[in-house]
Amino acid sequence: MFYPLEKLAKLHDGYQKAFVLESHSLLLLQMDGQRYLIENRCPHMDVPLTTAEQLPAGGLRCRAHGIAFDLPSGKAQGPLANQLDCLKQFPLAYDGDTLGVEL
Ligand code: FES
């Protein structure tokens, strides 16, 4: 089932917004022209990433303890890379001028 999230015209680099759909907590982001839809949960200690800091080259830093993740791969950066789960990614879906997700 397609769930609309945002009009394409509203997306821009730096965009970052949380959504709750059914039992899913999601975070939609755009940086460097790339769009990402991830579970809004840090794999470290389950803190929401709603206010996470966008970093250059697709990085995202959780503000709770400062761990940075690579959005394209979902992996944590640095020494915890092999100890933490990856960010959970959801495939984006499009319907006309609207971006959403199939759940
Ligand atoms: S909960 Fe995100 S870095 Fe600890």
Residues 54-63 pLDDT 10s: 999 999 999 9
The answer to whether 47 touches 59, Cβ cutoff 8 Å, is no
Determine whether the shortest distance from the Cβ of 52 to ligand 1 is under 6 A. Answer: no
**In tens digits, what is the pLDDT along the chain, a chain of 103 residues?**
999 999 999 999 999 999 999 899 999 999 999 999 999 999 999 999 999 999 999 999 999 999 999 999 999 998 888 999 999 999 999 999 999 999 9
Determine whether the shortest distance from the Cβ of 45 to ligand 1 is under 6 A. Answer: yes
Q: Which atom of ligand 1 is nearest to the CA of 66?
A: 3
Q: How far is the CA of 41 from the centre of ligand 1 (A)?
A: 9
Cα 74 to its chain centre, rounded Å, is 9
Span 44-54, pLDDT tens digits: 999 999 999 99
pTM higher than 0.85: yes
Catalogue all structural domains in the chain, each as residue range(s) with its CATH number.
2-102 (2.102.10.10)
Q: Which atom of ligand 1 is nearest to the CA of 45?
A: 1
Residue 85 is given by DSSP the state: P
Atom 3 of ligand 1 has which residue's CA nearest to it? 65
Q: What CA–CA distance (Å, rounded) separates 100 from 103?
A: 10
